[in-house]
Homo-oligomer: A and B are copies of this chain.
Amino acid sequence: MDRNQLNERLPVVVDAIVKSIGSEPRLQHLNRVYLPNRDVIIDCITRLRELIFAGYFGNQGLTSHNLPYRAGELVIELCDALFEQVRFCLRYRASIPGQNDGDAQCEECDHEAARIVATFFDRIPAVRDLLALDVQAAFDSDPAAQSTDETIFCYPGLFAIFVQRCAHEFYKLDVPLLPRIMTEHAHALTGIDIHPGAKLGRSFFIDHGTGVVIGETTEIGANVKIYQGVTLGAVAPQYGQQLRGQKRHPTIEDDVTIYAGATILGGETVIGKGALIGGNVFITSSVPPLNRVTAEPPKLRYRDRRPKRMQEDIMLDFQI
């Protein structure tokens, strides 16, 4: 087949794909309300970071004199973008799938969207206060940190916490889609997956962070430290929608440290104040306050590696 013959086949190809799209409702969004736009929402996160961490990102040379103008500009841009996206989310929820709702009007949605955005803006100073404590916690907890500025610039854990604290505000205001789109953006950039519904206490620190999963109904107290690969998850998640709405994820009290790779599961599980959970520990029941929980070490096998047994070694390496 040559290039021309390929071109000649395209009409047939398009017909087949159009038919396929028409026949599978789960993978098409036709004749319906506008959906929120991921790119615009991600752009809001960038602007929020510039506003909240004032002077660190975006244009240089921020001074107390130009601050009000820069801040004002960002707030106006954010207001337009967030109002539109929240409105799309609410109209999406209000629309009735299957019917032609392509031009769905929903004035109530628009009023609600305005209320939501105004409430979010009012919360920004409180969110900044929390993030200032997170920055301090990151610096205090990491011997490799040279300054709080470095944690703001470089630390993925801080970025994921910043995004989740913002997304959580929209989650509390019951906005569909948008909060999860925000936290999944942070997940993509950091490998840290914090559901927007999770309740995070003050002075929260996540180090390295890749592989961290914090489920929707998790509650975390103050001064908690978490390392890479920690899961705060649900027991038997495979039962899926049956468990919808239940408290499925653990509660972590104040001053708890959870080392890399630890897995803590279940909505009844409470890790008591000041407890320390060792690396790779797997826990599905509660831990009393001020306890250190570590796994009884699996005996390690040491065996000399004699080159002539190399081939045998191949099979033995993992017969453990």
User: What is the total number of copies of this protein in its complex?
Assistant: 3
Among B19, B67, B234, B284, the residue within 8 A (CB) of A125 is: B19
| B3 touching A114, Cβ below 8 Å | yes
Report the interface size for chain A: residues with CB under 8 A from the other chain.
166
B residues near A76, Cβ cutoff 8 Å: 10
Interface residues of A in 217-234 (CB under 8 A from B): 225, 227-229, 231, 233-234
| A117 touching B6, Cβ below 8 Å | yes
| B260 touching A261, Cβ below 8 Å | no
| B295 touching A71, Cβ below 8 Å | no
Known contacts: A62-B29, A121-B13, A149-B177. The answer to whether A140 contacts B24 by CB under 8 A is no
What's the Cα separation between A189 and B207 when bound, in Å?
17
What's the Cα separation between A153 and B53 when bound, in Å?
28
Interface residues of A in 196-214 (CB under 8 A from B): 197, 207-208, 210-211, 213
| A16 touching B291, Cβ below 8 Å | no
| A298 touching B298, Cβ below 8 Å | yes
Nearest chain B CB to A277 CB, angstrom units: 10
| B17 touching A124, Cβ below 8 Å | yes
Closest to A225 in B: B238
What's the Cα separation between A240 and B102 when bound, in Å?
55
Interface string of A152-194 (1 = CB under 8 A from B): 1111100000000000000000001100110010011111010
Does A44 touch B at the CB level, under 8 Å? no
